[in-house]
Amino acid sequence: MSDNPLLNSLKELCLFLDKTGLEYILVGGLAVGIWGEPRATVDIDFLISLKVYDYEVLSQKLYKSGGFIFMHDKPITFGKISFLRATLRSNPDVSVDFLFADDDFKKEALKRRETVQITDFSVNISTPEDLIILKLLSGREQDRLDAKKVLEIQKEHLDWEYLQKWSENLVLSLP
């Protein structure tokens, strides 16, 4: 086990998601720390292979696992992102957002996942391009700054055609 409570929680969540059989990718602040620049975060975000109207399937999996002490009754929406928030029993300081793959872009992002090794476990993570688009979809200022930072740091390695295609399809402006 790591001395880092957030990494321990990430490992626990990856094991939980692997056990459920749901496809997932890490997105959010921790993914920004891998593809961009580390920043403070107290939550862990995953895009999962369920649509928003299947949120009760996720709720049941969370409840049955016994690993969560709080879950929202219904999904929350920011911009074009819908998610269900839960709190880990093992670390109540960590909230977890499970984003739903409810459109073609998000389904494509899940297929394009990469796997990275973190200490003694591996995690499926979004590509930098998909992370940028996901961040822009939320519409929040912090997410726009995250997208800009990943774009700046990864600019030499990005698939610009892919970014252009999805930013046009989803009516987003790249930073």
* Average pLDDT estimate for 34-56: 94
Q: φ and ψ at 4, to 5 degrees?
A: -95, 110
Q: How far apart are CA 41 and CA 53, in angstroms?
A: 28
Q: Read off the pLDDT band of 73 (50, 70, 90).
A: confident
Domain 5-127 has CATH 3.90.950.10: no
Residue 1 has what pLDDT?
52
Q: Model's pTM, two decimal places?
A: 0.94
Q: Compute the mean pLDDT over every residue in the chain, rounded to the nearest whole number.
A: 94
What are the pLDDT digits (tens) for 126-156?
999 999 999 999 988 999 999 999 999 999 9
Residue 2 has what pLDDT?
64
What is the bridge-based pairing of β-strands 95-100 and 43-48? Answer: parallel
Element (H, E) at 152: helix 141-154
* Average pLDDT estimate for 49-72: 93
